[in-house]
């Protein structure tokens, strides 16, 4: 019988009482939990202690490294070209990964974008792309490497071998009220990104009503913590703090967000989606050694679209196929003439979720045609009866609850009324090491 080096209760007590957990004890705790020796109740108690007491920078680094060590660590050194990745903390209408990956790849940079699925009001990149007939998220490592080498961009599901400790711990945090602990968020995100093996990483850390972090100060703390973790691990890392008080773009859902992404790749699309795509592309390319890359030109001249089509086709998708259309629609109109002064992101995300665009449980399917199309944004002038938004669903029975979520989510003010959202700065701060 193996004698364990530490006792979980001692580790829990140390953190509960506000002390620092020694490095070897913290590494053991993560490993023993992954092996099943430390039980779920014990790890839940430890997670709550972290939630209440926090962790030092060194403890977060050790925790992250221990989670990386629980699985495989990839390397793209054999590709012969730089790699850059982006991670978003999630929001409403956040489809930026779709145009961003092929845009960055235009400049000879491999983009290994390991993405996830949506849960609750924030959409998942893989759910959006699975709207495209034939497209598949699951790639072998060999397929991923070949696509990175030959085409440049890959958007796919992370393999089960990357940071299995994180997968186990995240599921526990989700049911124990400890998801919001910044040390645990940071180590969760960064363990997977560092294990993935990218050379450069740009973090899109969102704040506001539709974001995971509502408060900008907590979003800033999370961003700084993750930038430190990346830097300490030898990954060139920066972060942008971006506003998620208003939905991003004019679409919320899956298939409709793919359509909007293609518009951006064709040189059009909503101004805010283009702005954030370009800002993140510049960050990624600067970290990959190309600070002067003309990303706007790549959107205008078709290079980004060509990379998108190649990426989709390489993963079995048909870039020319028709995307799913909803069976039912419901148009919401302006109650009076005036100016749209507010569109609160969170209720729009909840409404899209209720329409079928999201899932309440990890095993639930999504309805790819479901969601919301916006026809106006804050600051736009409308006349009474003008369409403001259209609800999309496969079952009209879903409309009442979606409309209930939207009851006080948007406003039309008197002509000339000021809008708090109209002149908002989308990219609020840039955070570096």
> Is 173 marked active-site?
yes
Residues 77 and 188: their CA atoms lie apart, in Å, by 24
> Is 166 marked active-site?
yes
Sequence-ordered alpha helix ranges (H) in 7-153: 8-16, 23-35, 40-53, 57-69, 97-105, 125-129, 141-150
Q: Closest Cα to residue 405, out of 355, 358, 342, 339?
A: 355
What lies within 8 Å, CB to CB, of 403 at 6+ separation is: 330, 332, 351, 391
Q: Which residues, listed in sequence order, are joined to residue 361 by a DSSP beta bridge?
A: none
Find the angle CA(228)-CA(22)-CA(63) to the nearest 5 degrees: 40
Q: Closest Cα to residue 219, out of 174, 245, 182?
A: 182
> Measuring CA to CA, how many Å separate 412 from each of 48, 283, 351, 364, 378?
43, 36, 19, 36, 9
Which candidate in 187, 188, 191, 310 is catalytic? Answer: 188
Give yes or no for a contact between 202 and 284, defined as CB atoms under 8 angstroms apart.
yes
CA atoms within 13 Å, Cβ hemisphere of 55? 28
**427 phi, psi to nearest 5 deg:** -95, 105
Residues 309 and 317: their CA atoms lie apart, in Å, by 9
**374 phi, psi to nearest 5 deg:** -95, 140
> Is 192 marked active-site?
yes
Write the DSSP string, 154-215: EEEEPPTTS-HHHHHHHHHHHTTT-TT-HHHHHHHHHHHHHHHT-SEEEEEEEESTTSSB-S
> Measuring CA to CA, how many Å separate 416 from each of 315, 340, 425?
49, 10, 20
Sheet arrangement for strand 387-393: 251-253, 371-374, 387-393, 328-333
Which candidate in 87, 95, 303, 398 is catalytic? Answer: 87
As a dihedral over the C-alpha atoms of residue 378, residue 221, residue 257, residue 390, rounded to 10 degrees, the angle is -40
Which candidate in 15, 192, 220, 224 is catalytic? Answer: 192
**196 phi, psi to nearest 5 deg:** -60, -30
Which candidate in 127, 166, 232, 243 is catalytic? Answer: 166
Residues 314 and 297: their CA atoms lie apart, in Å, by 24
Which candidate in 86, 128, 173, 206 is catalytic? Answer: 173
Q: At what angle do helices 303-314 and 255-265 cross, to 10 degrees?
A: 140
Q: What is the CA radius of gyration of the chain?
A: 22
- Which residues are designated catalytic? 87, 166, 173, 188, 192
């Amino acid at each position: 019988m193996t004698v364990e080096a530490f006792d979980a209760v001692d580790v829990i007590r140390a953190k509960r009482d506000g002390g620092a957990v020694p490095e070897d004890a913290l590494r053991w705790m993560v490993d023993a939990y992954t092996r099943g020796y430390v039980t779920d109740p014990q790890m839940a108690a430890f997670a709550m202690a972290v939630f209440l007491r926090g962790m030092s920078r060194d403890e977060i680094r050790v925790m992250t490294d221990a989670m990386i060590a629980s699985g495989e660590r990839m390397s793209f050194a054999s590709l012969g070209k730089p790699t850059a990745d982006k991670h978003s903390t999630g929001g409403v209408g956040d489809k930026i990964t779709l145009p961003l990956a092929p845009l960055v790849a235009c400049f000879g940079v491999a983009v290994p974008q390991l993405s996830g699925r949506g849960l609750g009001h924030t959409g998942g990149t893989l759910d959006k792309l699975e709207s495209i007939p034939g497209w598949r998220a699951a790639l072998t490592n060999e397929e991923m490497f070949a696509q990175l080498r030959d085409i440049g961009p890959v958007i796919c599901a992370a393999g089960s071998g990357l940071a299995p400790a994180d997968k186990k711990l995240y599921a526990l945090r989700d049911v124990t009220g400890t998801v919001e602990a910044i040390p645990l968020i940071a180590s969760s995100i960064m363990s997977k990104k560092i294990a993935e093996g990218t050379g450069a990483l740009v973090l899109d850390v969102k704040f506001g009503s539709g974001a995971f972090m509502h408060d900008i100060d907590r979003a800033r703390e999370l961003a700084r913590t993750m930038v430190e973790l990346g830097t300490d691990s030898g990954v060139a890392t920066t972060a942008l703090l971006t506003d998620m008080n208003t939905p991003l773009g004019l679409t919320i859902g899956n298939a409709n967000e793919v359509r909007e992404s293609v518009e951006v790749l064709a040189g059009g699309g909503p101004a805010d989606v283009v702005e954030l795509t370009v800002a993140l592309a510049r960050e990624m390319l600067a970290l990959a050694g190309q600070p002067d890359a003309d990303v706007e030109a790549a959107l205008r001249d078709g290079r980004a679209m060509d990379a998108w089509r190649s990426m989709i086709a390489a993963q079995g998708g048909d870039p020319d196929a028709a995307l799913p259309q909803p069976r039912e629609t419901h148009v919401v109109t302006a109650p009076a003439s005036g100016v749209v002064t507010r569109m609160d992101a969170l209720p729009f995300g909840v409404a899209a979720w209720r329409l079928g665009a999201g899932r309440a449980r990890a095993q639930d399917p999504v309805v790819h045609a479901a969601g919301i199309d916006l026809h106006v944004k804050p600051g736009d002038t409308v006349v009474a009866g003008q369409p403001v938004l259209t609800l999309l669903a496969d079952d009209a029975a879903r409309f009442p609850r979606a409309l209930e979520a939207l009851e006080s989510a948007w406003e039309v003010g008197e002509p000339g009324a000021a809008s708090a959202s109209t002149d908002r700065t989308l990219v609020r701060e840039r955070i570096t090491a």
